[in-house]
Amino acid sequence: MNTISISLDEIYDLAKKTLLFNGCDEENASILSDTIMRAERDGSLSHGLFRLPAYVASLKSGKVNGKAKPEVKKISPSVIKVLGNSAFAPMVLKVGLPELIKLAKETGVAVLAITNSHHMAAMWPETEAIAEAGLVGFACTSYKPMVAPAGAKKALFGTNPISFAWPRPGKTPVVYDMATAAMAMGEVMVAARDGHKVPLGTGLNKDGKETTDPKEISKGGVLLPFGGYKGSAIAMMVELLAGALVGENFSYETAAKDNNDGGPPSGGEFILAISPEKVAGPDWGKHSDEFFKKMQSMDGVRLPGERRHKNRLDKGPRKINKELIEKIRGVINPTDYHNDFTRKADTTFDVHLKQNRTNINLQPASVLVPLQFENSMWQVILTRRSMNMKKHSGQISFPGGKFEDEDKTLDVTALREAFEEIGILAHFKGRAIHDHWESCFHYECAHGLCNAHHLRELTFVFEEYGQRWARRMIELLLEINHAPWPTTYSKPAHAQPGQRQWTRLLSVLYHACALYEWPQKQRESGPTM
């Protein structure tokens, strides 16, 4: 895996810039970025920067309000509820946890019920905060169905994580956070990205068969509960606590209400805080520490959370997947336009909109103003949006649209949209490099096929059908990309190395295609494993 070193401050800054640029206000962006940074700091990679693209998709979908202000309601002397108002969970926890801790210290036991919130992320931050206040903490949440109950082959439960924290006066708390699935889906996705296998028993493929391939699990398959029927029973308990008890959806109800537009459905969380001093008396800490010492005296035993606390002591940079960083930076304008955009979005630009609208999530977009000189005068080209569009149907507008991940700049966005909408390059006479779309060949110019798209298709053929020739072609294309181009210099010796390399590559390319060509019957029926 190709990685780069990034400091914790840089991780925080990158996350915050990304969130600000995609619709969060200062408070929401700061809180969520801190959660991301702490996850990377503690080695919880599946809940660090890995989650940031999904957060951006959530904001773009409109489901998550990046400027939300959750509401706290006291239901009884020991029960409080926080209405998330479509906020990310860290924002909800910021306002809810202090109230929960306060009630638990007063009454001995207190419950926090969270509703209408998005993505609870790792749950150790909330239970650890409770334990650092001298209280025992427990939390659980459900989500969309990803886990099959024991004996079943179809998903019904979410990964339904639980977290528990025990306070240790003068020491770091004992904290664990685990999915009731054999493995959290975030960890499965990381394994798929990095090309690792997962243990047998993690999940089933789309045909209901056990597999160690994380891609088969994450794409059409299901996870399995840990410990068979025991883990399945705990997952059921979480559904009841985080669904029925707090007044939120069960996982299957969440899925039924979701429109799968890239944004996560809302959900709830159940959090319990208990005062050990009020329940057990003043010697509770000494007594529990004797137990932990007994555990630590056994060979091979470590307390839950020890590795995370050890990672925390390292203040140095963290190695982050390079492709992930590039993907994240792709949703921020590389020209640093985002700095100005963020400032304007939070101040002058947004002030006029707030009078009549709430829950505004500004998205980067651009348009092209096409001009043509005809009949001795300049004319402006406008378009009319289709009546079938969900938004702004029938409106007159310039060609344009929203910034996509593959766009390097907003200028590229405007040119791409103009090409797609009105064929603005109709009179182009140069050489067009494209992805072999039929519409591209309507233009009377020289054509060349983009090898980036070739690589994408070849990767699909290799990964999905196991065709080795595709893998060899990928290697050849990458090698050719870096090979010196044969040319003529005043000193022929300069050209010879490039010419020899190209001659060899073309020879290998010919033999690779001949050697791995599919038999005729496979061509007719499609590739096989």
> In the numeric block, which tokens belong to residue 442?
């309507």
Active site residue 46: yes
CA distance 422 to 418: 6
Tell which phi-psi region holds residue 173, choosing left (phi > 0), alpha (psi between -120 and 50) or beta.
Answer: beta
If one counts every other C-beta atom within 10 angstroms of the C-beta of residue 42, the result is 22
3-state secondary structure of 91: helix
Helix, strand counts (H, E) of the chain: 20, 20
> In the numeric block, which tokens belong to residue 186?
């975030």
CA distance 451 to 158: 40
> In the numeric block, which tokens belong to residue 192?
């798929």
Active site residue 47: yes
Triad 127, 44, 312: Cα angle to 5°: 75
Q: How far apart, in Å, do the first and last CA atoms of the chain sit?
A: 26
If one counts every other C-beta atom within 10 angstroms of the C-beta of residue 477, the result is 16
Catalytic residue among 40, 44, 47, 119: 47
Catalytic residue among 44, 46, 117, 232: 46
Active site residue 511: no
Catalytic residue among 40, 126, 128, 187: 187
Rg (CA), the chain: 28
Tell which phi-psi region holds residue 448, choosing left (phi > 0), alpha (psi between -120 and 50) or beta.
Answer: beta
φ/ψ of 210, rounded to 5, equals -65, 145
Tell me the catalytic residues: 46-47, 187
